[in-house]
């Protein structure tokens, strides 16, 4: 079994939001990407065993007019959702509880390298210092409000920059690793 690690791969606006004031994501496509550069996503997802995402992000992805984009198990965190829609019950699995218990359950199934997604979910992992790596892509737009990626951290967490890359001449992507 591979060493457990929890990774973030997310895009933010210059002012640090992951969704705009209307919960919209159209600004993610603000920079034309005619050759469909995956901006490191394929390389990132290859090293991942499973995803852990908050209910809001799960519902956002379900609402996209595309096929289900993941070929790895998706663990959805929710207190409100009672069941995963039948259409996705082989692909997504509901979990709740404290993060330690949630991670134990996922690790016991053999999935150790995890992609953590969703604003509230990422923040709750950071609050317990459970994020090991973050790839943050900055879209060159100021949204002026919306859902912030970071806030409410109880203590300082130091990271080191391990890689920095610019995609389509406009989008910077910084890879950080937690210094423990
Ligand atoms: N920019 C990007 O690349 C990017 C990436 C991902 C998402 N987004 C956007 O970000 C927004 C979603 O972020 P969000 O802040 O709403 O957060 P989220 O993490 O997607 O969802 C939050 C919900 O997850 C559930 N949850 C989280 N931790 C839990 C735990 N330990 N136990 C049980 N349930 C837990 C709760 O659901 P219940 O209320 O059901 O209990 C909570 O309300 C959406 O607009 C999405 O489209 C953007």
Contact partners, residue 48, CB within 8 Å, separation at least 6: 7, 72, 113, 114, 115
Q: What is the pLDDT of residue 37?
A: 97
Q: What is the pLDDT of residue 2?
A: 86
Domain of residue 122: give its range. Answer: 5-22+58-178
Position 169 in a domain: yes
Per residue of the chain (180 residues), give pLDDT as tens.
789 999 999 999 999 999 999 999 999 999 999 999 999 999 999 999 999 999 999 999 999 989 999 999 999 999 999 999 999 999 999 999 999 999 999 999 999 999 999 999 999 999 999 999 999 999 999 999 999 999 989 999 999 999 999 999 999 999 999 999
**Does ligand 1 lie within 6 Å of residue 120's CB atom?**
yes
96 three-state secondary structure: coil
What CATH number has the domain bearing residue 109?
Answer: 3.40.430.10
User: Considering its fold, how many domains does the chain have in total?
Assistant: 1
**Does ligand 1 lie within 6 Å of residue 79's CB atom?**
yes
51 strand-pairing partners: 74, 115
Query: What would you report as the CA-atom Rg of the chain, rounded to the nearest whole angstrom?
Result: 16
Question: What is the C-alpha to C-alpha distance for residues 107 and 97, in angstroms, rounded to an integer?
Answer: 15
- Which atom of ligand 1 approaches the CA of 80 most closely? 40
Position 32 in a domain: no
Q: What is the pLDDT of residue 12?
A: 98
Q: What is the pLDDT of residue 80?
A: 96
Question: What is the C-alpha to C-alpha distance for residues 132 and 178, in angstroms, rounded to an integer?
Answer: 5
Q: What is the pLDDT of residue 131?
A: 98
């Amino acid at each position: 079994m591979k060493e457990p690690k929890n990774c973030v791969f997310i895009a933010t606006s210059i002012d640090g939001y992951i969704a705009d004031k209307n919960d919209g994501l159209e600004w993610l496509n603000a920079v034309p990407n005619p050759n469909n550069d995956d901006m490191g996503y394929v390389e990132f997802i290859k090293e991942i065993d499973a995803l852990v995402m908050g209910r809001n992000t799960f519902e956002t992805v379900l609402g996209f007019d595309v096929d289900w984009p993941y070929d790895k198990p998706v663990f959805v965190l929710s207190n409100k959702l009672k069941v995963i829609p039948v259409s996705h019950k082989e692909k997504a699995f509901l979990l709740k509880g404290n993060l330690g218990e949630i991670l134990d359950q996922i690790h016991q199934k053999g999935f150790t390298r995890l992609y953590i997604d969703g604003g509230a979910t990422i923040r709750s992992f950071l609050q317990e210092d459970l994020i090991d790596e973050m790839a943050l892509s900055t879209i060159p737009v100021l949204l002026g409000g919306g859902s912030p990626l970071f806030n409410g951290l109880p203590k300082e967490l130091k990271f080191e920059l391990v890689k920095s890359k610019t995609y389509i001449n406009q989008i910077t992507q910084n890879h950080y690793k937690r210094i423990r």
